Amino acid sequence: MISLETGPPEFRYTAMIRHNPTGEVRSYHDTWELQHGEGGLIFMWTEGNYGCDCNRKTFFERAANPAYKMPEQSVCGDTGYSVNLVVEGRTIHKEFDL
Ligand SMILES: [Zn+2]
């Protein structure tokens, strides 16, 4: 039974996002719907929309400034950012060594 007030159950995760040209790493905290699972989360950050630099840049900026909005002209690519995904201290997806 899903409550309309609280929405579907979610789990928390952290995306450690590295801006590859500078090596700066920021932690972006978010939630993911339990029903889509860790596999779905990894898929989203690799094959899915979050795998693209335009979205990764937005999350990287929001990690420092939550009010950051994605610009209308954003740059797509797949080399600008690397991401490790962490759930309760477990690294479930790793693209770079800290
Ligand atoms: Zn893109």
Chain segment 44-96, per-residue pLDDT in tens: 999 999 999 999 999 999 999 999 999 999 899 999 999 999 999 999 999 99
Q: What DSSP designation does 41 have? A: H
Residue 3 CA, ligand 1 centroid: distance in Å: 34
Q: Is there a domain that residue 69 lies in?
A: yes
Q: Is there a domain that residue 19 lies in?
A: yes
Cα angle for residues 42, 67, 62 (degrees, 5° grid)? 35
Half-sphere exposure of 61 (CA within 13 A, CB side): 12
Residue 56 CA, ligand 1 centroid: distance in Å: 9
pTM listed for this prediction: 0.91
Domain span at 41: 10-93
Q: Is there a domain that residue 4 lies in?
A: no
Residue 77 CA, ligand 1 centroid: distance in Å: 6
Number of domains in the chain: 1
Please report, for residues 1, 3, 5, 37, 78, the alpha-carbon distance to residue 50 in angstroms, rounded to integers and kept in the order given.
Answer: 29, 27, 27, 16, 10
Task: Please tell me whether residue 80 adopts helix, strand or coil conformation.
Answer: coil
Q: Is there a domain that residue 31 lies in?
A: yes
**Tens digit of pLDDT for each residue in 9-54?**
999 999 999 999 999 999 999 999 999 999 999 999 999 999 999 9
Q: Is there a domain that residue 5 lies in?
A: no
